[in-house]
Amino acid sequence: MLRLGKTGRRLLGGIIALTGICVGMAAQAMPASDPPEQLLQRAFNIKTSNHDEFLRILAKLRLVADSLPLDEQWSLRYLEAWQAVFEGNVSRAITSLRAISEQAPSPALRLRAMATMVNIFGFAHRYEEAFIQLNRLTELLPQVSDQGARYAAMGEAAQFLIGSHHFKQAIEYADQMLQNIPPGKSACHAVRYRLQALLHGGSAQLTPAEFQQGIDLCTKDNDSVYVNAIRADMAALLLQKGRATEAIHELEEHYAEVAAYKYAAQMQYSDMLLAKGYFSLGDLSKARQYALAVVDGNVENAYSEALSQAYELLYQIDNRLGHTREALAYHEKYMEADKGYLSDVTAGALAYETIKQQVQSQKNQVDVLNRQNQILQLQRKLDHKAMETSRLYIALLLSVMAYIAFWLLRTKRSQLRFKRLATRDSLTNISSRQHFVDETESSLRQAAKSTRSACLILMDLDHFKQVNDTHGHVIGDLVLKRAVAACQHHLGRHDIFGRFGGEEFAILMPNCGATQARERAERLRQAIAATPLWGETRSVVITASFGVASTDRSGYELRQLMIDADNALYQAKREGRNRVVYEDGNDPVAPTPTNVQEQAVAVQPADLPRRHQPAV
């Protein structure tokens, strides 16, 4: 059973209200003499724009509920369930919505119930149940002629898919909304979902002008909530393009208006963008102010991308200011929040694949049963024939068995592929961040039991952002692959090598003392600096900085090893990069400058493609 605290119920009510907050402006009260059919229609139209009037109409309808026609009774039941969600009584609402989605005579009403459950389950991170309802919604959609119900359901689907990081599918629903706008509606909501999915899905073709067109469209509808949602995404795009001053101006000019909505997720997003903008301009005081606002506005026991980024920014601010103790505290909170957020993203992805496979499995089972029925019918018709007919039956039966065996083999291979995708980095084919953490913690526990030393090495490619900005994403990916390949030649069979994101990597070396780890890190540094560059990357110089920590000094807790290695890495960066620093940085190992410079070749703009800025 889903249980929400006071804060959770208030936020869930806000999300349900936000979904349709722009249905219309508040209107005058309906006279008591209006027929129930008109009262029901009015309640549907104003439930988010004039909630007090909605409650008065609901009270009138309850008095005559027993005398209503059957379809109007079901409509009243849906409105009661919607109000239960608004009040935070989610358990009662879901029970009623399930009954409506399965038994209501109106396909449009069943569709609305399914869409509301997608919204509820998505908010509660019950992704598997949300995808089950989304699949039912998708199957029912072609049978519904009510344009308003179809438009609302596709909007719920697009919102949920964006929240669960399935941006391609969200764009498809937004495009369907644009092609099926009901009378009296504008394309405001559909345009907002499409732009949001393109931005967070990493589209490199977006421009601020496209967001401004969406803002103008929603402004004509007096839809201020969606206007400011699009404005926040435009600010995110401006930050990606290095136009922080413009982004800050867009957000702060309408900050009070956004705060008045009391919608925590939107407020967190705006505060995080402002914190990033001020940090990029070097205003650490305001960056801290907005990052702390993100933390203060977070729902209890909930992880989000904004919370993870806020803790990371606070860590960077205090680290830059030399506040070591505060920086370490924020670094610990960042790791916890980031792990929780990544786990939530992974849960959404696995739920999607699980339901997808279940749906395909059900279809296959239906196909198998149909074939079996066909075979049984054929058997009855051919019983009077001779042995040749029997051979035909056996051949058909064997074909069915072969089909089932092939399907089972294919399902098993898909499961193995999903497991591999969850543990390997897709670009470099080394351990993903979460898999590295799990394997490293297990290895450290074994080392602690046997009191054997182990060392952690953090590696960061120097000036990698300049490589991306100068040569583009494709060349940046080639540089990452070649740096990884250079390191793998010098790693042992029991070493754990993982990518932490971007140009950051980590290596755990079991059964390795501090001196040996420093020497091996130096060999890795030299191998990267001496990596032969050919083809499109011939004019790129690769160097890396290393931070080394040992269990002899830091103990066997991964968190402390990470902090010490990270501090050593920062010291290596401060001392000029392309060097190895062990723990406190008292004994750095620096490269011979001429060895690196001999590899540099002047970059010709025509040699390499330009890179589009990535989405945040």
pLDDT confidence of residue 552: 92
Strand order in the sheet with 544-550: 496-501, 504-510, 454-461, 544-550, 580-582
Find the mean pLDDT for residues 328-335: 88
pLDDT confidence of residue 536: 58
pLDDT confidence of residue 180: 87
Q: Which residue has the higher pLDDT, 441 or 380?
A: 441
Catalytic residue among 503, 522, 536, 575: 503
pLDDT confidence of residue 32: 43
* Rounded Cα–Cα distance for residues 322 and 315 (Å): 10
Q: Which residue has the higher pLDDT, 529 or 417?
A: 529
Q: Is residue 602 predicted with pLDDT exceeding 60?
A: no
Cβ atoms 591, 543 nearer than 8 A:
yes
Categorize the per-residue pLDDT at 87 as very low, low, confident or very high, splitting at 50, 70 and 90: confident
Find the mean pLDDT for residues 261-270: 81
pLDDT confidence of residue 379: 67
Find the mean pLDDT for residues 366-384: 70
pLDDT confidence of residue 20: 44
Percent of the chain with pLDDT over 90: 38
Neighbours of 286 (CB within 10 A): 16
Q: Is residue 594 predicted with pLDDT exceeding 80?
A: no
Q: Which residue has the higher pLDDT, 605 or 358?
A: 358
Q: Which residue has the higher pLDDT, 351 or 105?
A: 105
| pLDDT tens per residue, range 506-541 | 999 999 999 999 999 999 999 999 887 655 556 678
* Local structure of 1: helix, strand or coil: coil
Domain ranges of the chain: 1-144, 433-597
Categorize the per-residue pLDDT at 364 as very low, low, confident or very high, splitting at 50, 70 and 90: low
- One-letter amino acid for residue 595 of the chain: N
Q: Which residue has the higher pLDDT, 378 or 19?
A: 378
Residues 6 or more apart whose CB falls under 8 angstroms from that of 479 comprise 461, 464, 467, 537, 540, 542
Q: What is the DSSP letter of 508?
A: E
DSSP labels for 61-93?
HHHTGGGS-HHHHHHHHHHHHHHHHHHT-HHHH
Categorize the per-residue pLDDT at 419 as very low, low, confident or very high, splitting at 50, 70 and 90: low
Q: Is residue 577 predicted with pLDDT exceeding 90?
A: yes
* Rounded Cα–Cα distance for residues 355 and 615 (Å): 28
Q: Which residue has the higher pLDDT, 505 or 340?
A: 505
Q: What is the DSSP letter of 425?
A: -
Helix (H) or strand (E) holding 170, with range, is helix 167-179
| pLDDT tens per residue, range 345-362 | 676 667 677 766 666 666
Categorize the per-residue pLDDT at 397 as very low, low, confident or very high, splitting at 50, 70 and 90: confident
Cα four-point dihedral sign 189, 194, 197, 202:
negative
* Rounded Cα–Cα distance for residues 476 and 397 (Å): 54
> 454 forms bridges with which residues in the sheet?
510
Q: Which residue has the higher pLDDT, 49 or 587?
A: 49
CA distance to 272, 444, 481, 609, per residue, from 456 (Å): 32, 10, 21, 36
- One-letter amino acid for residue 52 of the chain: D
CA distance to 29, 37, 54, 69, 464, per residue, from 43 (Å): 11, 10, 5, 17, 57
Cβ atoms 546, 572 nearer than 8 A:
yes
Relative to beta strand 496-501, strand 544-550 is unpaired
Categorize the per-residue pLDDT at 301 as very low, low, confident or very high, splitting at 50, 70 and 90: low
| pLDDT tens per residue, range 459-495 | 999 999 888 888 888 888 899 999 999 999 999 999 9
* CA 293 centroid distance within chain: 22
> 550 forms bridges with which residues in the sheet?
455
Categorize the per-residue pLDDT at 403 as very low, low, confident or very high, splitting at 50, 70 and 90: confident
Find the mean pLDDT for residues 169-196: 89
pLDDT confidence of residue 597: 36
Find the mean pLDDT for residues 248-253: 92
Whose tokens are 């990069």? That residue is 577
Q: Is residue 425 predicted with pLDDT exceeding 80?
A: yes
- One-letter amino acid for residue 200 of the chain: H
Whose tokens are 């490293």? That residue is 440
Torsion angle of the four alpha carbons 470, 471, 473, 479, in this order, in degrees rounded to the nearest 10: -110
Rounded mean pLDDT of the chain? 81
Q: Is residue 4 predicted with pLDDT exceeding 60?
A: no
Percent of the chain with pLDDT over 70: 79
pLDDT confidence of residue 605: 31
Q: Is residue 504 predicted with pLDDT exceeding 60?
A: yes
> 461 forms bridges with which residues in the sheet?
544
Find the mean pLDDT for residues 442-464: 94
Q: Is residue 413 predicted with pLDDT exceeding 70?
A: yes
Q: Residue 579 class from Cβ within 10 Å (0-12 exposed, 13-18 middle, 19+ buried)?
A: buried
* Rounded Cα–Cα distance for residues 338 and 329 (Å): 14
* Rounded Cα–Cα distance for residues 445 and 560 (Å): 14
For the ranges 91-100, 567-576, 605-614, which has the lowest average pLDDT? Answer: 605-614
**CATH class (in words) of the domain with range 433-597:** alpha beta
Q: Is residue 251 predicted with pLDDT exceeding 60?
A: yes
**Catalytic site residue 336?**
no
* CA 354 centroid distance within chain: 17
pLDDT confidence of residue 579: 95
pLDDT confidence of residue 216: 92
| pLDDT tens per residue, range 63-80 | 888 899 998 899 999 999
Helix (H) or strand (E) holding 181, with range, is none
Categorize the per-residue pLDDT at 439 as very low, low, confident or very high, splitting at 50, 70 and 90: very high
Query: Which of 448, 431, 440, 439 lies closest to 498 in space, CA to CA?
Result: 431
Cβ atoms 165, 348 nearer than 8 A:
yes
Which pTM does this prediction carry? 0.53
How long, in residues, is the chain?
616
For the ranges 142-146, 403-407, 542-546, which has the lowest average pLDDT? Answer: 403-407
Segments in 472-545 forming alpha helices (H): 473-488, 514-529
Find the mean pLDDT for residues 557-580: 94
| pLDDT tens per residue, range 8-64 | 544 454 544 454 444 333 333 344 457 888 898 888 877 665 778 889 999 999 988
